[in-house]
Structure 1
Amino acid sequence: MLQSVNLRDYMLPNPAKVHPEDNIMDAMKVITDSRISGVCVVDDDANLVGILSEMDCLRAILGAVYNNSNTGVVREYMAKDNLVVAHPNEDIVDVAQDMLKKNKRRRPVVENGKLIGQITCRQLLIAVVKFKQ
């Protein structure tokens, strides 16, 4: 059904992203307005430094309510350790299998240290539909 293809052909170029010092409420607006489940976090030089998910945002909001405090900034809640990324020339089937194995819905695509795209479950489904036609 799905032949091996280059990830670059199916990744989302220029994915939604936020800065680590952005307010968590602003990041939530990016997530909700874009209708996505998470965003890449990049520094001023477009280096990937983290991933912020809907669950991270929910954790921030509930923590603020519980502590009667402000929500804070993205860097306080983003996942930043052991980030798994893909290279644009990787095989899409290999990436899909690894995403399933690790139960991850998205994978940032990095080239020369810079975020250049993202592959998501939806992009993988689009690839399958395209090959069926």
Structure 2
Amino acid sequence: MGIKSFQGRRAAPVKLESAPILVEDYMTSSLITFKKDQSVAEVMEAMIKNKISGAPVVNDFGELEGVISDGDCMKQISESRYFNMPIGDMKIENYMDDNVAVIDKNLNIFDCAQLFYKHDCRRFPVIEYGKLIGMISRKDILCAALKLRGQNWHC
């Protein structure tokens, strides 16, 4: 006795248009940036005003010199009390992180998510030809994953 199938005739598979999965598709390219000679107070005001937790520090040529975060500002606040100095008078070059991992715009979001997991950071600058062209955050990757939900994740 043979095997019977009750599934009936199947329709031909329909190929869905693949969704964008690259960093460049989800990165923020309209950035708030700082110069390393700006004061910590200026950075704190800008972060509060723009509701951001960090931003890139660039030179006059748009090249990345580092990243300043709210955590870096906290360090300055803490030290200002210890050394009896006014909050925010110091330049951000003394507090910014200048050893920053960067990524390429053509990296897929799955590999980017793995880098976020490995490096335990909140954001990655995106560099092209030595210039800062965008930033991608953990939140951007979460948004991308939600948009891709229900699709096959083949890379």
Query: Could you tell me the TM-score, scaled by structure 2's length?
Result: 0.79
CA contact (8 A) 1:40 1:50 kept: yes
* Structure with the larger RCO, 1 or 2 (CA within 8 Å, 6+ apart): 1
CA RMSD of aligned residues (A): 1.5
Match status 1:104 vs 2:118: no
Describe the shift of the 1:17–1:74 C-alpha distance in structure 2 as closer, same or farther (beyond 3 A): same
Structure 2 runs not aligned, ≥5 long: 1-18, 151-155
Separation in structure 2 between the aligned mates of residue 44 and residue 29 of structure 1, nearest angstrom: 22
Separation in structure 1 between the aligned mates of residue 20 and residue 101 of structure 2, nearest angstrom: 21
Q: What pairs with 1:13-92 in structure 2 (closer than 5 Å)? A: 13-70=29-86, 71-81=89-99, 83-92=100-109
Separation in structure 2 between the aligned mates of residue 26 and residue 57 of structure 1, nearest angstrom: 11
Amino acid at match of 1:111: E
Between the two proteins, what is the percent identity of the paired residues? 32
Structure 1 runs not aligned, ≥5 long: none
Report the CA distance between 1:28 and its aligned residue.
1.0
Report the CA distance between 1:132 and its aligned residue.
2.4
Runs of 4+ in 1 over 2 A off after TM superposition: none
User: SS at the partner of 1:88?
Assistant: coil
Per mean C-alpha deviation after superposition, the further-off stretch among 48-57 and 65-74 is 65-74
Separation in structure 1 between the aligned mates of residue 59 and residue 85 of structure 2, nearest angstrom: 26
Larger radius of gyration: 2
User: SS at the partner of 2:124?
Assistant: strand
Separation in structure 1 between the aligned mates of residue 94 and residue 75 of structure 2, nearest angstrom: 11
Higher relative helix content: 1
Separation in structure 2 between the aligned mates of residue 122 and residue 79 of structure 1, nearest angstrom: 21
Separation in structure 2 between the aligned mates of residue 89 and residue 29 of structure 1, nearest angstrom: 33
Higher relative strand content: 1
User: SS at the partner of 2:21?
Assistant: coil
Separation in structure 2 between the aligned mates of residue 15 and residue 122 of structure 1, nearest angstrom: 15
